[in-house]
Chain A
Amino acid sequence: MTKKEKTGKKKKLSGLEKWQSERIDITQKRFRVGDYLAEKVIKGVAYLSIAIVFLIFVFVFRESLPIFNTSKPATETAVVGKQDSQETYGAVTDNTSTTQESYGSVADSSSKTNVQETYGEVTDQTASQEQNILAGDSASSKNSSSDTYTVSAGSGSDDNRTALKSMATKEWVPVSANPRYGLLALILGTIKITFISLLFAAPLSILAAIYVSVFANKRMKEIIKPTIELLAGFPSVVIGFFALMVLATFLQSVFHYETRLNSFVGGIAMGIAAIPIIFTITEDALTAVPKSFYEASLALGASKWQTAFFVILPAATPGIFAAILLGIGRVFGETMIALMATGNAAQMDLNPFASVRTLAATIGAEMAEVVFGDTHYNVLFLIGSLLFIFTFVINAVAEFYVKGKLMKRIQGK
């Protein structure tokens, strides 16, 4: 650099000189406020999210607790507000019941109850269960907007003990003079429909992912991947509607089964909802397999599909399992499609062409119509807890079995 330039850039150079002349001091430990705060905030948010999940579970489970209290006879009183015509939630199920099959308990529940809209007040009442009807009257009279009256709750004649006992049976008749809360049919229905939808969705989406990540050229990949992922954004009510109106009719005309809405139709519809999830994560897992595996396999004289199935697929197993588990989670908790396309009849039947009622759909269909604090209400929350627990168990199995034993078996010790 000439002297002339140096003077021209004097200011800049002096900054540079200062920078270069600065000595680095390592003897004094500096407290970096920004780093410290950022770390704490991130940590706090992480713990908070865990705490929120935990609290939701605690809340759901707490609501189902009274069912385990078998010492007191349940003499609950509750207030039922008369409904406006727009708010009859049973209407949807009524509509679907115009199709061939009988809906069993759904028809019961929709014909019976109305939505309790004044939960706040009722809490007071159920808290003091020994109160007589008069107290219930005075509480509900505050709610002048709706025409209120008191009834003994749907399960008033029932006892928590019999409710608990009935859970191990297969009859789900929550609204009846003799209510039965058999969960077995619901659990079986949920597992059946999960199985069917995975049987449909997993091979399709995994094969599609293999095609996209290994075989497709760049342009095909750019078309297929976003298209399938677009499906993930579909509202499940749209898929449910499609299944209800189109898929059910089509499948019935192909397979000629008796019941129009059944676990097969529901399973396929839920599979459609699960495909983009399984596809996306599987595709990511396959793409994350090092390219060197691919090259090494080809250099050994393997064809493309041998490479895909014997090298890339095994190497991506953990990711594919995660994808399938997320798919299971999606199907397990899927409510809208289950409500619309499965027929909602709680029956113990392994036939895939029989109607089923899933756990999530039961909550979805009945929570709006249940009497607050009632045994039925508690059972619905118990179902919610069950859904939670199932999900935890599935994840735990995945964590310990898949990552532990299975991976060792596939990849060597």
Chain B
Amino acid sequence: MSENKIHTENMFLYYSEKMALNNISITIPEKKVTAFIGPSGCGKSTFLRSLNRMNDLIDGVRIDGKVMIDGVNIYDKNIDVVNLRKKVGMVFQKSNPFAKSIYENVAYGPKINGVNDKSHLDEIVETALKNAAIWEEVKDRLGDSALGLSGGQQQRLCIARTLAVNPEIVLMDEPASALDPLSTAKIEELIVQLKEKYTIVIVTHNMQQAARISDNTAFFYLGELIEHDKTKKIFTNPEKKQTEDYITGRFG
């Protein structure tokens, strides 16, 4: 594995009293795609959301242990959460463009970070839309409402919106689960392209998807990290019995 971008050590997460993550220690390399797989409710989304502290929004969440990004514990008292979320962008399961125009959706991130120059903004928006492989489809109607786009386009717009802030890590929470196969293929293609510039962590229910696009795969089960290794190894020669059962569909 190359340089470590994200690294957790003995991390526990509780919703009030209930333990949701149990002793997670994982190292995620830079500029690779890492996929989290596992059955529903196993804690993979919770873990993903704890990487940019989105869990702070939920009442009663408590985290023990270390979550290091670039060697800094992000649950340290002095951490600026706003800047952390700039550094660690997130794409959600359900596409959630703002009720604004396409242009405004992408320009929102740079704008709130103090980019006011119109030509500079135009440039950022165009680059982000191109990187998200949606520029050709929307370049003639940037002023239209983003809510008028199709589901797949909306999701790519959300990716463009995240990229426009220039993050280092992009977290994706089942980004293609609500999309048709064609849109899914486009998103997958996009993810593979994006790993040249960004570290990508993706949660998915679709194991073929994980096998197709990821470099590393982590298998979660009941709040525990069961196995984490190269995707090829996980899918061909897993070390743990549980992983094998899940991947081969003999789970239960």
A interface list, Cβ under 8 A from B: 218, 290, 292-303, 306, 310-311, 314-315, 410-413
Known: A301-B86, A413-B145. A295 touches B100 (CB 8 A): no
Shortest beta-carbon contacts, A-B, top 3: A412-B101, A301-B86, A292-B96
A302 touches B82 (CB 8 A): yes
Complex interface: chain B residues within 8 A of A295 (CB) = 54, 57, 92, 96
A412 touches B104 (CB 8 A): yes
Known: A411-B100, A413-B145. A298 touches B57 (CB 8 A): yes
Complex interface: chain A residues within 8 A of B143 (CB) = 412-413
Closest Cβ neighbor of A307 among chain B residues: B112
A299 touches B89 (CB 8 A): yes
**B205 in the interface, Cβ–Cβ < 8 Å?**
no
**B237 in the interface, Cβ–Cβ < 8 Å?**
no
A300 touches which one: B94, B100, B108 (CB < 8 A)? B108
Q: List 11 A-B contacts (CB under 8 A).
A: A293-B96, A295-B92, A298-B85, A299-B89, A299-B162, A300-B112, A301-B86, A301-B89, A301-B165, A314-B98, A411-B100
**B161 in the interface, Cβ–Cβ < 8 Å?**
yes
Per the bound structure, the CA–CA distance linking A412 and B99 in Å amounts to: 8
State how many angstroms separate the Cβ of A302 from the closest Cβ of chain B: 5
**B125 in the interface, Cβ–Cβ < 8 Å?**
no
State how many angstroms separate the Cβ of B13 from the closest Cβ of chain A: 18
Report B86-116 CB contacts with A as 1/0, cut-off 8 Å.
1101101010111111101000110111000
Complex interface: chain A residues within 8 A of B102 (CB) = 412
**B147 in the interface, Cβ–Cβ < 8 Å?**
yes
B54 touches A301 (CB 8 A): no
Per the bound structure, the CA–CA distance linking A67 and B92 in Å amounts to: 66
State how many angstroms separate the Cβ of B175 from the closest Cβ of chain A: 13
Complex interface: chain A residues within 8 A of B108 (CB) = 297, 300, 302, 310-311
A294, A297, A301 — which one has the most chain B CB atoms within 10 A of its CB? A301
B101 touches which one: A293, A301, A411 (CB < 8 A)? A411
**B213 in the interface, Cβ–Cβ < 8 Å?**
no
State how many angstroms separate the Cβ of B151 from the closest Cβ of chain A: 14
Interface residue tally of chain B, by bracket? 35 or more
A296, A298, A311 — which one has the most chain B CB atoms within 10 A of its CB? A296
B interface list, Cβ under 8 A from A: 52, 54, 57, 59, 82-83, 85-87, 89-90, 92, 94, 96-102, 104, 108-109, 111-113, 143-148, 158, 161-162, 165
Known: A296-B92, A300-B112. A314 touches B100 (CB 8 A): yes
Complex interface: chain B residues within 8 A of A306 (CB) = 112
Per the bound structure, the CA–CA distance linking A314 and B158 in Å amounts to: 19
Complex interface: chain B residues within 8 A of A301 (CB) = 82-83, 85-87, 89, 109, 112-113, 165
Per the bound structure, the CA–CA distance linking A411 and B94 in Å amounts to: 20
Closest Cβ neighbor of A218 among chain B residues: B59
Per the bound structure, the CA–CA distance linking A294 and B92 in Å amounts to: 12
Per the bound structure, the CA–CA distance linking A193 and B143 in Å amounts to: 39
Per the bound structure, the CA–CA distance linking A298 and B54 in Å amounts to: 8
Per the bound structure, the CA–CA distance linking A157 and B187 in Å amounts to: 85
State how many angstroms separate the Cβ of A98 from the closest Cβ of chain B: 56
Complex interface: chain A residues within 8 A of B85 (CB) = 298-301
B112 touches A296 (CB 8 A): no
A300 touches B96 (CB 8 A): no
A290, A298, A412 — which one has the most chain B CB atoms within 10 A of its CB? A412
A300 touches B59 (CB 8 A): no
Extra 5 A-B pairs, beta carbons < 8 Å, given A298-B85, A412-B100: A296-B158, A299-B85, A300-B161, A301-B109, A413-B101
State how many angstroms separate the Cβ of A233 from the closest Cβ of chain B: 31
Known: A298-B54, A314-B99. A411 touches B147 (CB 8 A): yes
